[in-house]
Amino acid sequence: QSALTQPPSASGSPGQSVTISCTGTSSDVGGYNSVSWYQHYPGKAPKLMIYEVTKRPSGIPDRFSGSKSGNTASLTVSGLQAEDEADYYCSSYAGTNNWVFGGGTKLTVL
């Protein structure tokens, strides 16, 4: 069982919005500003999509946004596109150079 809880699957039609949640504790998600989201295609390197809860790295479209409330972080993908279909993982710093991760959410674009 992963330290952070994510729904195993999410789906939406092209153009719609979908939100993926990531629930931890006050020792990780709730206690640090270091929550990130990764997009992962099997066999490829995970790609950073959101860092510091809400920030997007250069080159990541603004259709991807992040937020946090208490011990739960969320990733919202707006204007879904076919290429958004992938696995998404959340992570949180948990102190002393220790990281915790979610179990992953498979996003399907219908």
Which residues here bind other proteins, judged by CB under 8 A? Answer: 2, 4, 32-34, 36, 38, 43-48, 51-52, 57, 89, 91, 93, 96-104
Min separation Cβ 90 and other proteins, Å: 10
Report the residue number, 38 or 80, with the smaller CB distance to other proteins.
38
Q: 92 and 29 in contact (C-beta within 8 Å)?
A: yes
Question: Considering the complex, what minimum distance in angstroms separates the CB of residue 110 from other proteins?
Answer: 24
- CA-wise closest residue to 88 among 1, 10, 23: 10
Residue 17 or 69 having the CB closest to other proteins: 69
Helix (H, G, I), strand (E, B) or coil at 1: coil
Q: For other proteins, give the closer residue by CB, 13 or 96.
A: 96
Whole-number minimum distance, CB 58 to other proteins, in Å?
11
Q: Per residue, what are the HEC states of 42-103? A: CCCCCEEEEECCCECCCCCCCCEEEEEECCEEEEEECCCCHHHCEEEEEEEECCCCCEEEEC
Q: Using the minimum distance from each CB to other proteins, give the nearer residue, 33 or 69.
A: 33
